[in-house]
A = this chain, B = another copy of it.
């Protein structure tokens, strides 16, 4: 008997975001002074992960962003200026306890959004942190700006029992993963899946189905995993996006996930929803 594949990494309830406290400046200031209040420790451009796999905390010094309540304990982060990309953060992500992963993702996306959105896009003036860090407001034009969450479709296209995987030029050697792309204005998830597979691989698909989703904090994607049936297997690769793409048999997927020196490809790491999608496909 096999264990069921886990939910995608970075998913789960996380801590209580205590939405109603965000707008309440006086309550938040009191929370920052509470005995159990803690501030996130940062290391190498991401929230710091201790040897036990849990996020590291220290007494509150700069409660710029109110992350929520962990039970009764208020959690804050200081604003940050330097951030790691996903490859640089791989070491800390590999040991991160899944229970702390949603908070890791929220803190990283939120903090990075502030660093890159200090000015009002509507009027060009320096904007101010409001709502405990969950938005910025322009003191000149009054516009309020909320953190970005950018939906991305990532999909397993299947044809006659084989799955289409591709590799981008910046992947580690041997790595193949599911094709993906940003959802654009004026399209829904199903249309985005069909468009991306046609653009990147030249295949037409039908019966697009939702599978699972995952926040991905580099910087602020919402990965939406889908399955699609390809109408045929002939590929036309967009080489501006992909270095290569090909169809993998069930045995190859299984061997890739198992890993090892003779694996036919290097599967995506645990933190990537692409791995979850492959594990679930294999287990189904």
Contacts and interface: CB of A to CB of B under 8 A. Distances in A.
Interface string A214-249: 110100101010000000000000101000000000
A195 B105 contact: no
Interface residues of A, number: 63
A64 to B, nearest CB: 15
Contacts of A122: 116-119
Interface of A: 8, 10-14, 17, 19-20, 102-110, 113, 116-126, 134, 143, 145-151, 182-191, 194-195, 199, 210, 212-215, 217, 220, 222, 224, 238, 240
The 9 closest A-B pairs by CB, nearest first: A106-B186, A119-B124, A109-B185, A210-B210, A105-B186, A117-B121, A188-B213, A11-B188, A189-B213
Contact of A184 (B17, B185, B189): B17
18 contacts: A11-B188, A14-B186, A14-B187, A17-B184, A20-B240, A102-B191, A107-B186, A119-B122, A121-B145, A148-B150, A149-B182, A151-B222, A188-B212, A188-B215, A188-B222, A189-B222, A189-B224, A190-B213
A106 B186 CA distance: 4
Given A17-B184, A109-B185, A185-B215, 9 more contacts: A103-B186, A116-B122, A119-B119, A121-B145, A134-B184, A146-B150, A146-B182, A147-B185, A148-B148
Nearest to A120: B119
B143 A185 contact: no
Contacts of A147: 184-185
Among A13, A19, A113, residue most surrounded by chain B Cβ atoms (within 10 Å) = A19
Nearest to A67: B186
B110 A185 contact: yes
Contacts of A214: 188
Given A118-B122, A120-B119, A195-B17, A186 B215 contact: yes
A27 B147 CA distance: 35
A199 B126 CA distance: 32
